[in-house]
Structure 1
Amino acid sequence: MTSVIFLGTPKFGAVVLQGLIDQGYKIEAVVTQPDKKFGRKQELHQSEVKKVALANNLKIYQPLHLSKSEEMNELLSIRPDFIVTAAYGQFLPTKFLQTAKIKAINVHGSLLPKYRGGAPIQYSLINGDKQTGVTIIEMVKKMDAGEMYGSRAIDISDDDTSGSLFEKLSIIGRDLLLEVIPKIIANQIVPTCQDEDKVVFSPNISKDQEQIKTSMTATQAHNLVRALNPQPGAYILMHNKRYKIWQSEVSAEKCSLESGYLVSKNKEFAISFSNGTILKILNIQPTGKKPIAIKDFINGQGNQFKVGEKIVED
């Protein structure tokens, strides 16, 4: 039976892990990020990968920093056939990768060499790409730079968010991985090198990038909303108060107002952006409150904003 150490954290990784379990691979250990506190009540939440591991009675490791952890020595001693990662969120020591008897491979959520790094799905939306996909690569010391064992592309629909793309790509990644592993074992697949001239990086989203700014066009603002839904959420500053925007729509109309003005709040909350473009806010979340449909916001807090007034600050 082919043995695997699996490393992953969010649902993307959980889907891949469950696929390996269902196909009969021997999961020697599961490594995932430590439980984290969320919300005002600071309740402790387990990662989606941990939930799958617990449901299948698998050995779980949750070091804060894998390379400096006590767990590292135990993991080094396992020496599995494969080390498989899928959205784990930490760099892996070379000495650990070298313990794989066959290969250490990663399920990466982009069409490499485009979008190496920790936020490939988000950047595909931010940049308005028409396609994204999954690539299976060998893990090497350099980030996401290993040889490729296969890739699969899908179209990005107009209503996709990072959440919906994560779900789609997790299934594609699972299926592609389960096709690739037997071929690697049987020496039936020849990996290809990435074209270094086409490398694009996708570093983790910074706090500053979460803000919708008046320098953006409506399309750029809309793409940011999609990219940061469901986590961490894009926000806009209106009258110096922060509001998260969970759903939006680019208007087909244009206006002569400068960026940041309220264009309309008659059954819609429309704001002007760069180049005369207009963004309709469809779902909004005031700080400390739950997300609400824009019609409910207009009927409540909307009376503090006046049409023709500059309401957005950077």
Structure 2
Amino acid sequence: MNRIKIVFMGTPDFAVSSLEALLECGYDVVGVVTQPDRPKGRKRELAPTPVKAYALSRGLPVLQPEKLRAPEGVAAVTALSPDLIVTAAYGQILPKSVLDLPRLGCINVHGSLLPRYRGGAPIQRSIIDGEKKTGVTLMYMAEGLDTGDMISTVEVSIDDEDTAGTMFGKLSEAGAALLVEWLPRIVEGTAGRTPQNNDEATYAPNLTRDDERLDWHEPSRRLFDRIRGLNPMASGFTTLNGEVFKVWGAKAPTADDAKLGATAASLPPGTVIEAGAAGIRVRTGDGSLLLTEVQPAGKKALAASEFAKGARLTTETRLG
């Protein structure tokens, strides 16, 4: 059964667990397709994708077409003669010429409970939107954006302590387990296919700089979810004294955070209510939010309590 030839396509850490699971189960991965190396860090040096780094450590051939749909990209995959293509957060849409190539089809490990959160940032968007659960969908690929028939799903809870980083880890492991659980039936042709209800579809486009902007007129919970939904790939940001001021962490708001004294209640959103050992408390649209990790312009991230020691923050200090 495991002698079928699989081509794996993936790019970030999320995809590594699925590739590792295939190899550990003895499947024959004849090639790995990932995004080209990109500049990274302050020195802007080219860095391999996590999938490339792992694939090379396992001695697998790696392809990195700039555009998979280009003739040379299609030809390179065709030359591998795959029986099955498995993708996980590859980052490019597969053209029909590639979708039609393997006799067993193309399957995808997608980080949401489809048809909700189709697109490139389902994990971050689900947290930003305040969802209490998400999951992974194993699906057959089609020409549309995450529109293919579903094979199976698994639910994963989102806790207040979770960030995009921790959820990437949870969903990566859940997706890998779901993949190897269903692969035997996919190979045998006995896996079911459930069409998606397009009327229930929502979309999760890649994040933009505007998604990182913190609007202090929003409710505390909305701001908290945005901050943790960005972390650690990005941070929420506001301004302090005319300079960018990043927010990496905050404490989950409670009912007490909505109870403000007369003075605090009269302050406009974005005003610092207090700053001390607990962090920096900021007025929001419906109460307050305690910031726990911040990053002033040109400096490294640090605990908000440490920043507060020398920042001289008062109730006249306003963010944004």
| Fold in common (TM above 0.5) | yes
Q: What's 2:66 paired with? A: 64
- 1:241-291 CA distances to partner (integer Å, 9 max, x unpaired)? 11221110125323312211110012221111112x211110111233221
Take 1:214 and 1:40, find their aligned partners in 2: how far apart are those partners?
30
Matching of residue 258 in structure 1 with residue 272 in structure 2? no
Shift of 1:187: 2.5
Corresponding residue SS for 1:150: strand
Q: How does 1:1-314 map to 2 (within 5 A)?
A: 1-68=3-70, 70-249=72-251, 250=253, 252-254=256-258, 255=260, 256=265, 257-267=267-277, 268-275=279-286, 277-300=287-310, 302-303=311-312, 305-306=313-314, 308-313=315-320
On the 8 A contact 2:257/2:289 being kept in 1, the answer is: no
Take 1:58 and 1:225, find their aligned partners in 2: how far apart are those partners?
38
Take 2:191 and 2:92, find their aligned partners in 1: how far apart are those partners?
28
CA RMSD of aligned residues (A): 1.3
Shift of 1:310: 4.7
On the 8 A contact 2:140/2:150 being kept in 1, the answer is: yes
Amino acid at match of 2:40: F
Take 1:155 and 1:312, find their aligned partners in 2: how far apart are those partners?
33
Take 1:233 and 1:3, find their aligned partners in 2: how far apart are those partners?
41
Given the two structures, how large is their TM-score scaled by the length of structure 1?
0.95
Shift of 1:105: 0.5
Deviating more after overlay: 234-243 vs 98-107 = 234-243
- 1:218-260 CA distances to partner (integer Å, 9 max, x unpaired)? 1111101111111022212222211221110125323312211
- 1:159-197 CA distances to partner (integer Å, 9 max, x unpaired)? 000100000001110010001111112232211011111
On the 8 A contact 1:79/1:101 being kept in 2, the answer is: no
On the 8 A contact 2:134/2:157 being kept in 1, the answer is: yes
Shift of 1:126: 0.7
Take 2:147 and 2:177, find their aligned partners in 1: how far apart are those partners?
22
Take 2:61 and 2:71, find their aligned partners in 1: how far apart are those partners?
16
Take 2:74 and 2:188, find their aligned partners in 1: how far apart are those partners?
30
Number of corresponding residues? 309
Take 1:79 and 1:217, find their aligned partners in 2: how far apart are those partners?
53
On the 8 A contact 1:80/1:99 being kept in 2, the answer is: yes
Gaps of 5+ in 1: none
Take 2:298 and 2:8, find their aligned partners in 1: how far apart are those partners?
37
Shift of 1:79: 2.6
On the 8 A contact 1:8/1:86 being kept in 2, the answer is: yes
Q: How high is the sequence identity, in percent, across the aligned residues? A: 36
Amino acid at match of 2:47: H
Take 1:203 and 1:161, find their aligned partners in 2: how far apart are those partners?
18
- 1:62-91 CA distances to partner (integer Å, 9 max, x unpaired)? 122221263331212323111111011111
Gaps of 5+ in 2: none
